[in-house]
Amino acid sequence: MSKRLDGFIWIGLGVSLLMALFFSPFASSSPDGLEKVAQMRGFKEKGEAWRFWNYAPLPDYALPWIKNEKASTALSGLLGTLAIFFIALGLGKLLKRPPGKKGVSVILFLLLPLFPSTSLYAGRPLTTDDAWTVEKGKFQVESGLDVSRQDNHDREFTPSLTLTYGLLERMDLGVGSGYLFFHPAEGRKENGIADTEIKLKYRFMDEMGLRPAFAVAGILKIPTASESKGLGSGKVDFRINTLFTKNLGKQLALHLNLGYAFLNEKGGDNEFNYSLACQFILAEKWTLVGEIAGINNFNGHKRDDPLSGLIGTTYQLTENLVWDAGVEIGMNRAAPDFRVTTGVTLYFKP
């Protein structure tokens, strides 16, 4: 994507967001064409009774917990515009850069619907996400420190911070970044702000019987890390993840992530990412966690597809504060030799 076209897209997004925010509150309250026909023909009630609408993210173009009608409509317009942008961005990259037969098979698999107690939530120190969302109106703050070493003995130290807010009963929005200290085995040490990620997650299905909870997350990477220092690619990337969570009794939960990343890096390949995580309650406040995570970049060379495993623990310090720690070990040369992580997660409601 040329810089000129890239700039045009971001300007267009900015204009669209401003229009959605400031003009949508003044939209006509009269029914649209389809709704008018439904009223005239007498089948409006049948359509509203369809249980699919129970899962609509923005019913009646409003946010239910915001009582000011104009503010509610404005924010729903803003969120809807962002959601459509993420979807269009992903489809555009897919059409521009076909992932090949194997990649198409993976994408089709991700889009397949799966088989029609107290929940365990995935979080730090896992990289695997869960299908649950932050409670509406509540904030989740995750802070951590990662220390890792690559196969060539390059080392990285990364303090990070992620803020997530529960927008709806089934939707949350998060933004996260950090500060990267890069210490190569040879050459000059560098440091600077890491890339920033914006994530929008929506839960489509709750857990019921044999069926797991199911959610989809779109992640937009903003290139805030310095390309000249070698801290980032300097490109905007987009990733879509499908998230599955299944509780097996009161002490054990499994989380499965399957995703596809559209990368703008020159000479780079799009990536299929996968991970499987497990949580087991050891005691009232202690939980044991573990995961296996990998990436396939479809270039035919298995040696550069990282695969790693992590084991860790969490301890609930208070009702709204959790401490965690974990150790990740690379299972091949493409993955870091090891990564040690520790942090805390705070939940609060203003």
Above 90 in pLDDT, residue 37?
Answer: no
| pLDDT of res. 52 | 47
pLDDT tens sequence across 93-105: 555 555 454 444 4
> Cβ distance 82 to 17 under 8 Å?
yes
Mean pLDDT, the chain, whole residue set? 80
Tell me the HSE value of 184 on the side-chain side, using a 13 A CA sphere.
Answer: 9
pLDDT band of residue 117 (cuts 50, 70, 90) is very low
d(CA 338, CA 309): 9
DSSP 8-state secondary structure symbol assigned to residue 172: E
- % of the chain residues with pLDDT over 90: 46
pLDDT tens sequence across 152-175: 889 999 999 999 999 999 999 999
Start-to-end C-alpha separation, the chain = 42
Position 68, amino acid: N
| pLDDT of res. 93 | 54
DSSP 8-state secondary structure symbol assigned to residue 93: H
| pLDDT of res. 209 | 86
The counts of H helices and E strands in the chain are: 5, 13
Above 70 in pLDDT, residue 298?
Answer: yes
Instruction: Read off the pLDDT of each residue in 320-337 and give the average, rounded to a whole number.
Output: 90
Q: Which residues pair with 166 in a beta bridge?
A: 136, 172
More confident residue, 134 or 69: 134
Residue 57 CB neighbours (<10 A) = 18
pLDDT tens sequence across 56-74: 555 666 666 566 777 777 7
| pLDDT of res. 114 | 36
Domains of the chain: 3-96 (no CATH), 139-348 (2.40.160.40)
pLDDT tens sequence across 237-266: 999 999 999 998 888 899 999 999 988 876
